[in-house]
A and B are shown apart, each in its own frame.
Chain A
Amino acid sequence: DQQVKQNSPSLSVQEGRISILNCDYTNSMFDYFLWYKKYPAEGPTFLISISSIKDKNEDGRFTVFLNKSAKHLSLHIVPSQPGDSAVYFCAASVEGGSEKLVFGKGTKLTVNP
Chain B
Amino acid sequence: DSGVTQTPKHLITATGQRVTLRCSPRSGDLSVYWYQQSLDQGLQFLIQYYNGEERAKGNILERFSAQQFPDLHSELNLSSLELGDSALYFCASSHDNYGYTFGSGTRLTVV
Contacts and interface: CB of A to CB of B under 8 A. Distances in A.
Nearest to A6: B42
Interface stretch (A61-69, A77-85, A98-106): A98-106
A4 B45 CA distance: 13
Contacts of B86: none
Residue of A94, A97, A102 contacting most chain B CB atoms (<10 Å): A102
A55 interface: no
Contact of A99 (B4, B35, B42, B56): B56
Nearest to A95: B97
B18 interface: no
Interface in A18-47: 32, 34, 36, 41-46
Interface size class of B (residues with CB under 8 A): 20 to 34
Contacts, number: 62
A102 B56 CA distance: 12
B58 interface: yes
Contacts of A103: 35, 42-43, 45
B45 A44 contact: no
Contacts of A96: 97
Interface string B41-69: 11101001010000110100000000000
Contacts of B92: 43
Contacts of B41: 105
Contacts of B40: 105
B42 A43 contact: no
Contact of A98 (B58, B97, B101): B97
Interface in B55-111: 55-56, 58, 90, 92, 97-105
Given A43-B2, A44-B90, A89-B42, A100 B48 contact: yes
Interface of B: 2, 4, 6, 33, 35, 40-43, 45, 48, 50, 55-56, 58, 90, 92, 97-105
13 contacts: A32-B97, A36-B102, A43-B2, A43-B104, A43-B105, A44-B43, A97-B97, A99-B56, A99-B97, A101-B99, A101-B100, A105-B40, A106-B43
